[in-house]
Amino acid sequence: MQPSPPPDDVVAARFLVSGEVQGVGFRAATRRRAVGLGLAGVARNLDDGRVEVLAEGAPAAVEALAAWLHQGPPSARVATVERSEAPASGWRGFEID
């Protein structure tokens, strides 16, 4: 998917989620939640056992996803969520990598 220039009212953030978050449907649940919020981006497993989430869209939607990531789907056990701001890159859709 080729990124396009983001509109001015888009914010982006990078989240690193640790705990029992791989092998429990975390990325798929994150995608469903992000799409429902109108966000674009990607969720991917990292080699160290964390899940990385890059999300961009309306500020309130990014905040809603951030709050949800602290809990995740029922099968997950989230320990920590680290957040950093990221440049909006014009993602289209929300992917699982």
Active-site pick, 14, 44, 45, 83 = 45
85 burial (CB, 10 Å; 0-12 / 13-18 / 19+) is exposed
As a whole number of angstroms, the distance between CA 34 and CA 93 comes to 9
Which is the catalytic residue, given 14, 27, 32, 33?
Answer: 27
Q: Is 45 a catalytic residue?
A: yes
Please check whether residue 94 is in contact with residue 42, taking contact to mean a CB–CB distance below 8 angstroms. yes
Which of the residues are catalytic?
27, 45
